[in-house]
């Protein structure tokens, strides 16, 4: 076993004091300024690195770095910012927490059923402790991993987290480092993995002091969110180390099981070794050294299988977000045709996404006005994460509306079945399991008035392509944040309670049926554009294993479908679930005829906007 990595930048408690280490090539002299304890010069160790051991300083001490005798800034590798992004950094001991998860070894990607959540709006408390208080119900729901939106210290108390500026410091308003460790420890005790959303394509504007230390950013490239990070220019070695160390720090000091990397298409590196491959390799090696399974999941809108391919040209990530299935389902159910939804619509895109990973796999995109994507059928299905709602697809709408306010109940249940019975790794967005109706809006609490105005203008500009007008809630208003909190009373009965029952049963099937384990078998998809139906057959490895056949009616007309494309299987078929079964239908719709069992020839009359699932035993 290789020796595990340890973080050496930043402030590290040692016997009798603290060791400080900072990369500051913009300065010729650096001193650490201790709050109430004076100033201590750091020694130059070459290539912009300054270090010193300060005796008599331990955990709890607060400090900044003074560059060339001028203004003092927080530590770029601060583990704690208890007074916010502009305040001093705090020394903490990363080894002090008493972990009880020694037997936890992580999960295979194929066994992940992911639940994405935002810490501030997931619970009434709005912090890490509030999340921990709901772990038991998440376990009961049937998820196996929680994915937490970014927690790196950001300005104010309200933010999605993508404006983080202190990448090593868990947000103080959420409870800081100690409470994040407590949450992860509790999750592992409950049998749940923890995935953390990390942002390495840019750093937020307010409280960002990195540029004062060195060339962390470049003018060579542009991102929609801020200055591009310098991964391939002069002095980029330490910048690459900064983000790779950050990834390793979460895996090591917080026992995180996986990292979701935000918008990697905004990470530019034209060097011989891409920073994302170096990061992925380093995380995998550290996981092996720690005896745990850890994963890297990339978010990319390029439909590029190189993200998850191994070999010299691949990044070798464990999975990537795959948006095409979401877009295809959403466009069919809502009939929206604006923005990127203009590339979708109809039955074919859903069928193709279910079978071939990407709808756009090298074909022309009218929205982009160019060819888009590449084929990915050679990559195992467990390398793709799919959803029908997530923070982007809900929150990046003008009024943050969920499916629960966009389409009728039967369509929402069908959407759940389409992706939870798909051959890929599913990801739920908080609240969808009980049909949450509160919106998930975009919110901030910046202290810079000019920045607030820029955010307001930017949000309105973003929605022009969708034709959603100017009725955009004020991102800075506290009311916008409060409206985005979950209201779990909806899960007690009615449509919310029925939806919760459906989700629990679908997730139970995912855990129990071999055919639904991503990457463990073969997938066959047939569809009829005119008839408005899809037949999805999943065959697990092994001759004796039963296959699953899902019939999806994605039309407003009842359709008569066969469980098999040819031959009768009625004597070997067991009906497992239909989305319009009584437990999932709190009140009967006038004139509606529920989907029934297959007849003697193996045919099923499937109700409009419904799905039915059968297990078919081998002969």
Encode pLDDT of 374-399 as tens digits. Answer: 999 999 999 999 999 999 999 999 99
Please, what sign has the CA dihedral across residues 288, 294, 300, 303? positive
User: Would you say 494 and 444 are in contact if contact means Cβ atoms under 8 Å apart?
Assistant: no
The model's confidence at residue 574, banded by pLDDT at 50, 70 and 90, is very high
Residue 359 has a pLDDT of 98
Q: Give Cα separations from 269 to 221, 230, 233, 247 (angstroms).
A: 10, 8, 9, 18
Pairing between β-strand 166-170 and β-strand 193-198 as defined by DSSP bridges: unpaired
Whether residue 312 lies in the annotated active site: no
Spatial distance between the Cα atoms of 417 and 506, rounded to a whole number of angstroms: 7
Residue 5 has a pLDDT of 95
Q: Which of 253, 278, 299, 392 is catalytic?
A: 299
Mean pLDDT of 142-162: 97
DSSP state of 307: G
User: Would you say 480 and 443 are in contact if contact means Cβ atoms under 8 Å apart?
Assistant: yes
Residue ranges of domains in the chain, CATH in brackets:
10-90 (2.60.40.10), 521-616 (2.60.40.1180)
Q: Which residues contact 189 (CB under 8 A, 6 or more apart)?
A: 100, 101
Pairing between β-strand 62-67 and β-strand 30-34 as defined by DSSP bridges: antiparallel
Residue 311 has a pLDDT of 84
Q: Which residues contact 587 (CB under 8 A, 6 or more apart)?
A: none
Residue 305 has a pLDDT of 97
User: Would you say 282 and 276 are in contact if contact means Cβ atoms under 8 Å apart?
Assistant: no
Whether residue 299 lies in the annotated active site: yes
Spatial distance between the Cα atoms of 275 and 277, rounded to a whole number of angstroms: 5
Spatial distance between the Cα atoms of 382 and 308, rounded to a whole number of angstroms: 10
Pairing between β-strand 559-562 and β-strand 603-606 as defined by DSSP bridges: antiparallel
Bridge partners (DSSP) of residue 606 are 559
User: Would you say 526 and 463 are in contact if contact means Cβ atoms under 8 Å apart?
Assistant: no
> Would the pLDDT of 364 be above 60?
yes
The model's confidence at residue 37, banded by pLDDT at 50, 70 and 90, is confident
Q: Across 199-329, where does the E strand assignment appear?
A: 217-222, 227-229, 258-261, 295-299, 319-321
The model's confidence at residue 589, banded by pLDDT at 50, 70 and 90, is low
pLDDT by residue (tens digit) across 504-520?
999 999 999 999 999 98
The model's confidence at residue 618, banded by pLDDT at 50, 70 and 90, is confident
Q: Which of 262, 324, 505, 580 is catalytic?
A: 262
3-state secondary structure of 305: helix
């Amino acid at each position: 076993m290789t020796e595990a990595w340890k973080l050496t930048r930043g402030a590290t408690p040692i016997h009798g004091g603290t060791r400080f280490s900072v990369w500051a090539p913009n300065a010729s002299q650096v001193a650490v300024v201790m709050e109430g304890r004076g100033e201590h010069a750091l020694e130059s160790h070459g290539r912009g690195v300054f270090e010193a051991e300060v005796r008599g300083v331990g955990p709890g001490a607060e400090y900044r770095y003074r560059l060339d005798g001028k203004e003092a800034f927080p530590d770029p590798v601060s583990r704690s910012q208890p007074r916010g992004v502009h305040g001093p950094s705090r020394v903490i001991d990363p080894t002090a927490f008493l972990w009880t998860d020694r037997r936890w070894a992580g999960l295979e990607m194929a066994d992940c059923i992911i639940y994405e959540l935002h810490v501030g709006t997931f619970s009434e408390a709005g912090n890490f402790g509030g999340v921990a208080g709901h772990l038991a119900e998440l376990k009961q729901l049937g998820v196996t991993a929680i994915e937490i939106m970014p927690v790196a210290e950001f300005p104010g108390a309200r933010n999605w987290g993508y404006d983080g500026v202190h990448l090593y410091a868990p947000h103080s308003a959420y409870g800081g480092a100690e409470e994040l460790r407590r949450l992860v420890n509790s999750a592992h005790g409950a049998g749940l993995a923890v995935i953390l959303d990390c942002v390495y394509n840019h750093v937020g504007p307010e409280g960002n002091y990195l540029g004062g230390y060195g060339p962390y950013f470049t003018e060579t490239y542009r991102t929609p969110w801020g200055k591009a990070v310098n991964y391939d220019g002069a002095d980029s070695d330490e910048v690459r180390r900064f983000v790779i160390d950050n990834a390793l720090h979460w895996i090591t000091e917080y026992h995180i099981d996986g990292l979701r990397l935000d918008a990697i298409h905004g990470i530019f590196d034209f060097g011989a070794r891409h920073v994302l491959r170096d990061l992925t390799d380093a995380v995998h090696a550290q996981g092996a050294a720690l005896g745990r399974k850890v994963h890297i999941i990339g978010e990319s809108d390029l439909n590029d299988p190189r993200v998850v391919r191994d070999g010299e040209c691949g990044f070798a990530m464990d999975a990537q977000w795959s948006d095409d299935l979401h877009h295809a389902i959403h466009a069919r159910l809502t009939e929206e045709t604006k923005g990127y939804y203009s590339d979708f619509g109809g039955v074919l895109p859903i069928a193709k996404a279910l079978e071939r990973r990407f709808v756009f796999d090298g074909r022309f995109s009218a929205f982009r006005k160019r060819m888009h994507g590449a084929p990915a059928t050679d990559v195992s299905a467990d390398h793709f994460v799919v959803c029908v709602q997530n923070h982007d697809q809900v929150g990046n709408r003008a009024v943050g509306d969920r499916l629960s306010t966009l389409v009728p109940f039967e369509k929402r249940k069908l959407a759940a079945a389409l992706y939870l019975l798909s051959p890929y790794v599913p990801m739920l967005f908080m609240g969808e399991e009980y049909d949450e109706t509160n919106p998930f809006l975009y919110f901030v609490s910046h202290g810079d008035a000019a920045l607030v105005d820029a955010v307001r203008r930017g949000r309105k500009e973003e929605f022009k392509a969708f034709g959603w007008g100017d009725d955009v809630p004020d991102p800075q208003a506290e009311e916008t944040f409060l409206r985005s909190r979950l209201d779990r009373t909806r899960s007690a009965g009615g449509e919310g309670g029925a939806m919760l029952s459906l989700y629990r049963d679908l997730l139970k099937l995912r855990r129990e049926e071999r055919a639904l384990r991503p990457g463990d078998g073969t997938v066959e998809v047939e569809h009829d554009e005119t008839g408005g139906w899809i037949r999805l057959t999943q065959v697990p490895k092994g001759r004796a294993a039963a296959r699953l056949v899902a019939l999806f009616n994605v039309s407003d007309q009842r359709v008569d479908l066969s469980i098999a494309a040819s031959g009768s299987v009625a004597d070997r078929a067991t009906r497992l679930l239909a989305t319009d079964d009584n437990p999932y239908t709190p009140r009967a719709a006038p004139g509606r005829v529920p989907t029934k069992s297959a007849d003697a020839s193996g045919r099923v009359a499937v109700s409009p906007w419904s799905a039915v699932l059968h297990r078919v035993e081998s002969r």
